[in-house]
Structure 1
Amino acid sequence: MISMEEKAAPQGLTIDDLTRIKKVGAPLLSPANDFLVYQRSVADADENDWQDLIVLLSLDARAETVLGKGTAHAWSPDGKELLYETENGALHIYTVQNIESRFLAQRHASSRFINHLAADNCIWSPDGTHIAYAGAAIGTAEPENQAIRVIDDLLYKTKGGRGRDTYAGSEQLHIYLIPVTGGTPWLLTSGIYSEHSLTWSPDSRHIAFISNRTEQPDDIQQSEVWKVDIETKTVIQLTDQKGLTYQPAWSPDGKHIALLATSGPIGTNDSPAEDTHIALIDPCGGAFRYLTKSLNRRIEHIRWHPSGRYIYFIAGDRGDTLIYRVDIETSIIETIQEGTGCISEFCLDAEGENLVFVKSQSNRPAEIFHTKNQHAAIEQITQENTAWLATKTLQPAGTFWFDSFDGTRVQGWLVPPVGQEQTKKYPLILVIHGGPHNMFGQDFDERMHLLSAAGYAVVYINPRGSHGYGQKFTNGTLTNWGGGDFQDLMAGVDFVLDQHAWLDAARLGVTGQSYGGYMTNWIVTQTSRFKAAVADGGLSNLVSFAGTSLYYSLMESEFGGRAFDRFDLLWQWSPLRNVSQVTTPILLLHGETDNEVPFSQAEEMYVALKKAGVKTKLVQYKGEGHGWRPDLKPRNKADLNTRMIAWFDTYVTTTSNEQ
């Protein structure tokens, strides 16, 4: 007979559960508020891949239609049709009443990487007559010799992974226009520069966009807002400022263009320290007027209220991501949707009275929610993960604050092991985020729950450099990688060990991805207190990274100038420099086609560790790009996580230790 204790035995997240988790995103509410289209990402075990499904949901009947694999872009102004794109770049229009799709045009993608916030959008004209999109022209000339690659620019690499070529072609992105009734698309822009992140004027006469038209756009990370007249094809520059501009959005009344912007003199195409803020410009050009500097947080995902009076946006704040709005006349900022958790995307209904948003919590994967009665009530629309969650015990993350070495207040979270027993001591794993300017918090992270289910407590911390605590805090890693942030992490580990007697200070492990992988490599060169380490997609040599990464500009932005003028500083903060001090067994995990943190970064660390006699292993994932990204092939994701846990099981020592 099974005892009550055995029946109630909690079960945490397992490796097999990784393919059961469904991810949701990109919600688009129809103008009549009767249909919602969103993206559902599910694992395909047979194909060993992920499928991004376009799901159309009737909000009244809760009946759903899967339109296929791809991305939904925009509703028609009358809400009767939906523009979407299949995996191969074919644009289609779906008619809701007829339940039929018709082919519109073939959009050709560019392999060139622009920046991490470039919007790859296709937009429906407000008058309902045309579709505009950014696409690449397909050349007919073949290279003279297919066996030889001639490189003549700096951004010659792509992000790689999932079968993509790891080297960029020469094609630029330009704006095309096509009638919604079909036909041959015509070119609105041309030349040697790319255009992206499109927005229509309300009168359907102009399209504003982002373009980097500096003398060396692959070297100088600066961009401006431009607009093109769809009849004359005349292109006019609207902004002229130092920094980067992102994702312009024309106001409903046509009086303003809102955008995200940074103003630093040295830009980077990935992970800038400077927080993005909302700026407002006149559609005819002119000076910036920043609206959100007073919030002192990183702004993303801007959406106009139908009245044109307010701009809604999301921003991270001390581990939570909330929805705010700013009054464009007074610059007063209000919190619209708050609470524990992380909101990643949202859209307003046609009246601007309510929201649809995507939200996750530390122990709940993201689902889609809908506010009712002017935010008085919240309804969960999707139940993608409800069934399997009911069979699981996923521990919530408890937050804590501590004073670091210099008195700086730092926030962290502690996840206890599943089935924790009061009479036992448990090993502790420190997990470190990437960026370095990312933010941990009340978001769902599979790693925490896999480790918790394996019998580990997990601590994660937002050291200086993280966003969500103000610009001064975010700047805390500039020219100082592995300095103050390392001390923050160690102070946080000491704090939780002191506060929780059930944690075993003798059994510690550390892991992280990307910048977290860098910090993992750095930590084992600075201390021997961790019994095991797992570095995923981590940096080891900042000098060679500056010359081989797709994000070479990151080193220039973080260390204040050209890498060749700062080699001494880059080498000072390179884990490889201190590898002779390492005694901690370390597992190195890396994607073969990772151009963000090239595989050579793991190779350099691995060879040095081997020669130093340290227990180490290097695992390369063929055809994979960077780190813990969502599209890591299911079998590779399972293997990666299995190896991580096995490494900690081997070296951290998980044998129960009663008090």
Structure 2
Amino acid sequence: MISKDVKASPRGLLIDDLRRIRKVGSPLLSPVSYDLAYQVSAADIEENERDDLIVLLTTETAGKTILGRGTAHAWSPDGSRLLYENEYGELHIYIIASAASQFLVQRHESSYFINHLAENNCIWSPDGKHIAYLSADMPGPKEEQHHGIRVFDDLLYKTKGGRDRPVYSDRAYTHIYLIAAEGGSPTLLTPGNFNEHSITWSPDSRHIAFISNRTARPDDIQQSDVWKVDIQTLEITRLTEHTGLAYQPKWSPDGAHIAFLATSGSIGTNDSPAEDTHIALISSSGGSFQYLTKSLDRRIEHIRWHPSGNYIYFTAGDRGDTSIYGVSVENKKVEMVLGGSGCISEFCLDGYRGDFVFVKSDTNRPSELFKSKNQGAVIEQITQENSELFQDKTLQEAETFWFESFDHTNVQGWLMPPVDFVQTQKYPLILLIHGGPHNMFGHDFDERMHLLSAAGYAVVYVNPRGSHGYGQAFSNGTLMNWGGGDYQDLMAGVDFILDKNSWLDPEKLGVTGQSYGGYMTNWIVSQTSRFKAAVSDGGLSNLVSFAGTSLYHSLMESEFGGRAFGRFDELWKWSPLRNVAQATTPTLILHGETDNEVPFSQAEEMYVALKKLGVQTRLVQYKGEGHGWRPELSPSNKADLNARMIQWFDTYVKTTSNEQ
């Protein structure tokens, strides 16, 4: 592991602080009281991993109980019991009155990847009698695997990879099971050679709606529909027949309708679609559906019905903020309900009082739980998981700015100064690029910005075309054009901020990004020598080979308008390797060993090319790690990755310049 003794202001965020950050999420409010279950992601230094802890706050004891590692799934309708899953995949019921748990059933999880928005949830029936859950049919070991041989006959034969995860799919199908809340033998509701996910009960406890891709080639064709199963007759009915993808259905309180998220593109992807999701509404008996939120022209997520059935609440990102909105089922009128500043990532609804419990973060604070009172007139913070860590920290605010890009498109960015900023000094600048390509930067906590700020760098980050939060046309900005308009947006943003801030040193620039941000970092070093150092994290370098080796082969098809294997010329045109001979920028390449989303070979191709060209280059592989800055990245590897990033910039941005 690299030394973490990097020069940084103690007032800012330090690498050693990363292990102390606790991330809060998944709030579940009791249907009859203020009892609340939620999840805390915390580092276990001895085990070198992050744990998801289930926390229970009860009004009766006014205390906090940690139920263990795992996930809280659902409250019983009367609020007396909590369904949760421990780290071993066992479903348990926690009984509030006796503070005791009882084992319910063993659940199995397939390593087959469906998509990022697929919910692997377990839910209590409205009448309290049954629990529906998703579990995989685990196949027995095949003979050829005993002899070190793997035989593949499907396209999605890889998994997401990562620590303690298999690299190849077990090809197990995930189905819906039913078990009595008091225990017993489970019943399989949806047998067959298809996967089901994202389940929701009908209010009369008779049906379960779900999402399934039942096309002829579900590995290849990313399309899905809403279905329902009758728990008594086991009859399965298809409710939608549309071109596109469906996600996360939610049954209306009166049982008449089902709301769900949907896209309508003819070419879908299991990764990062350009098309924004919108709320669709369909009769619970099926037929045609209508969209409710098209007037907002933003990407919709996390939908919840109001108990009256008159409104549906949801989150949507808008120009760097993520807020809670509501849409009228009757007239499709959309209004912001809560937010306007910061990032609300999840919420649950207090159905009796019309208030919310929600997860919110901002630029200077990781996620915490909050609750609204009096229809949002009062906001109270529930958790203080990071208060002690941040009480002695002085983190810089990021100031937003807008600029006009090369084609007069207005683009938003942010500038964060160094922690120990003095107006009369000159400071180096790091361009930080988000992934996706359809992610959105904004008023959310990103530790990389603060680590760089504490190390003496200013940080600029931009939402170039392709980012969500600015409408569908803007989100479409990368289609057939990776490294085109978005690259020019980023360069225009850097030019703008240098021109407006004389305290920035234009001769000391660095660039970094993860995933698509890593791709863009690779692209930038093949296009310009203005940056003195680059750090590419989990980035793509060759779109042709990526199309044939990634878990997300469908991404190339959705972004480049058709079968990727018929468009190699187009994919090569936008590959950093195509122009790598022009690169002179010292480049640090960071990548996970078991990354199947952006395979490690993408890093190898870029590394070997730069090394052959004599460019100062280093490749760092993280053993057992998958893709990205996810919670499963071990604390020690995360610390190492950040320390290497800062030391690379210290070496090549602060103290040296490129010789051209």
- Does the pair score TM above 0.5? yes
Distance (whole Å) between structure 1 residues aligned to residue 620 and residue 141 of structure 2: 40
The gaps in structure 1 that reach 5 residues or longer are 1-8
* Deviation for aligned residue 1:10: 6.1
- Give the conservation status (yes or no) of the 8 Å contact 2:323–2:339: yes
Q: For 1:150-299, list aligned pairs within 5 A.
A: 150-299=151-300
Distance (whole Å) between structure 2 residues aligned to residue 68 and residue 303 of structure 1: 27
- Give the conservation status (yes or no) of the 8 Å contact 1:305–1:352: no
Distance (whole Å) between structure 2 residues aligned to residue 231 and residue 91 of structure 1: 23
Q: For 1:189-588, list aligned pairs within 5 A.
A: 189-351=190-352, 353-588=354-589
- Give the conservation status (yes or no) of the 8 Å contact 1:10–1:419: no
Asked if residue 609 in structure 1 is aligned to residue 627 in structure 2, the reply is: no
- What amino acid maps onto 2:219 in structure 1? D
- What amino acid maps onto 1:272 in structure 2? P
Asked if residue 22 in structure 1 is aligned to residue 22 in structure 2, the reply is: yes
- Give the conservation status (yes or no) of the 8 Å contact 2:144–2:151: no
Aligned twin of 1:110: 110
CA deviation vs aligned residue, 1:348-380 (integer Å, no higher than 9, x gap): 013151000000001111110000112110000
- What amino acid maps onto 1:582 in structure 2? A
Aligned twin of 1:122: 122
- Give the conservation status (yes or no) of the 8 Å contact 1:427–1:654: no
- What amino acid maps onto 1:330 in structure 2? N
Aligned twin of 1:65: 65
Distance (whole Å) between structure 2 residues aligned to residue 31 and residue 365 of structure 1: 27
Find the residue that maps to 1:114 and give its secondary structure.
coil
Aligned twin of 1:95: 95
* Deviation for aligned residue 1:145: 4.1
CA deviation vs aligned residue, 1:509-546 (integer Å, no higher than 9, x gap): 00000000000000011100000000000000000000
- What amino acid maps onto 2:229 in structure 1? V
Aligned twin of 2:5: none
Distance (whole Å) between structure 2 residues aligned to residue 62 and residue 629 of structure 1: 32
- Give the conservation status (yes or no) of the 8 Å contact 2:211–2:224: yes
Inter-CA distance 453–465: structure 2 relative to 1 (3 Å threshold): same
Distance (whole Å) between structure 2 residues aligned to residue 145 and residue 626 of structure 1: 26
Distance (whole Å) between structure 2 residues aligned to residue 103 and residue 635 of structure 1: 34
Distance (whole Å) between structure 2 residues aligned to residue 383 and residue 470 of structure 1: 35
- What amino acid maps onto 2:427 in structure 1? Y
* Deviation for aligned residue 1:59: 4.3
Aligned twin of 1:6: none
* Deviation for aligned residue 1:396: 1.1
Aligned twin of 1:590: 591
Find the residue that maps to 1:526 and give its secondary structure.
coil
CA deviation vs aligned residue, 1:481-529 (integer Å, no higher than 9, x gap): 0000000000000011011110000000000000000000000111000
* Deviation for aligned residue 1:553: 0.1
- What amino acid maps onto 2:234 in structure 1? K
Structure 2 length normalisation: TM-score? 0.97
Distance (whole Å) between structure 1 residues aligned to residue 322 and residue 145 of structure 2: 51
- Give the conservation status (yes or no) of the 8 Å contact 2:202–2:209: yes
CA deviation vs aligned residue, 1:527-580 (integer Å, no higher than 9, x gap): 000000000000000000000000000000000011121100100000001110
Structure 1 length normalisation: TM-score? 0.97
- What amino acid maps onto 1:388 in structure 2? L
- What amino acid maps onto 1:479 in structure 2? M
- Give the conservation status (yes or no) of the 8 Å contact 1:34–1:60: no
Distance (whole Å) between structure 2 residues aligned to residue 623 and residue 456 of structure 1: 31
Distance (whole Å) between structure 2 residues aligned to residue 455 and residue 138 of structure 1: 52
CA deviation vs aligned residue, 1:11-57 (integer Å, no higher than 9, x gap): 10001000010000000000123211000110000000001000001
Distance (whole Å) between structure 1 residues aligned to residue 470 and residue 572 of structure 2: 29
- Give the conservation status (yes or no) of the 8 Å contact 1:306–1:352: no
- Give the conservation status (yes or no) of the 8 Å contact 2:269–2:554: yes
Distance (whole Å) between structure 1 residues aligned to residue 59 and residue 360 of structure 2: 18
- Give the conservation status (yes or no) of the 8 Å contact 1:72–1:84: yes
Segment of structure 1 superposing worse, 165-174 or 273-282: 165-174
* Deviation for aligned residue 1:653: 1.4
- Give the conservation status (yes or no) of the 8 Å contact 1:32–1:350: no
Inter-CA distance 654–56: structure 2 relative to 1 (3 Å threshold): farther
Distance (whole Å) between structure 1 residues aligned to residue 144 and residue 306 of structure 2: 53
The gaps in structure 2 that reach 5 residues or longer are 1-8
Segment of structure 1 superposing worse, 544-553 or 135-144: 135-144
Distance (whole Å) between structure 2 residues aligned to residue 286 and residue 100 of structure 1: 45
- What amino acid maps onto 1:97 in structure 2? A
- What amino acid maps onto 1:207 in structure 2? I
Find the residue that maps to 2:143 and give its secondary structure.
coil
Aligned twin of 2:51: 51
Distance (whole Å) between structure 2 residues aligned to residue 361 and residue 266 of structure 1: 35
- What amino acid maps onto 1:311 in structure 2? I
Aligned residue-pair number: 647
Distance (whole Å) between structure 2 residues aligned to residue 628 and residue 325 of structure 1: 31
Find the residue that maps to 1:208 and give its secondary structure.
strand
Distance (whole Å) between structure 2 residues aligned to residue 48 and residue 320 of structure 1: 33
Distance (whole Å) between structure 2 residues aligned to residue 143 and residue 392 of structure 1: 58
* Deviation for aligned residue 1:58: 2.2
Find the residue that maps to 2:426 and give its secondary structure.
strand
- What amino acid maps onto 2:18 in structure 1? L
Aligned twin of 2:139: 139
* Deviation for aligned residue 1:652: 0.1
* Deviation for aligned residue 1:137: 1.5
Identity over the aligned pairs, expressed in percent?
72
Find the residue that maps to 1:38 and give its secondary structure.
strand
Find the residue that maps to 1:279 and give its secondary structure.
strand
Inter-CA distance 60–527: structure 2 relative to 1 (3 Å threshold): farther
Find the residue that maps to 1:534 and give its secondary structure.
strand
Distance (whole Å) between structure 2 residues aligned to residue 141 and residue 52 of structure 1: 30
CA deviation vs aligned residue, 1:109-148 (integer Å, no higher than 9, x gap): 1110001100110010000000001111133454344210
* Deviation for aligned residue 1:61: 5.1
Aligned twin of 1:3: none
* Deviation for aligned residue 1:338: 1.9
**RMSD, matched Cα:** 1.0
Inter-CA distance 352–229: structure 2 relative to 1 (3 Å threshold): farther
Distance (whole Å) between structure 2 residues aligned to residue 628 and residue 53 of structure 1: 19
- Give the conservation status (yes or no) of the 8 Å contact 1:56–1:65: yes
Distance (whole Å) between structure 1 residues aligned to residue 134 and residue 60 of structure 2: 35
* Deviation for aligned residue 1:288: 1.3
- What amino acid maps onto 1:456 in structure 2? Y
- What amino acid maps onto 1:172 in structure 2? Y
Distance (whole Å) between structure 2 residues aligned to residue 245 and residue 633 of structure 1: 33
Inter-CA distance 14–654: structure 2 relative to 1 (3 Å threshold): farther
Aligned twin of 2:3: none
* Deviation for aligned residue 1:630: 2.3
- Give the conservation status (yes or no) of the 8 Å contact 2:123–2:133: yes
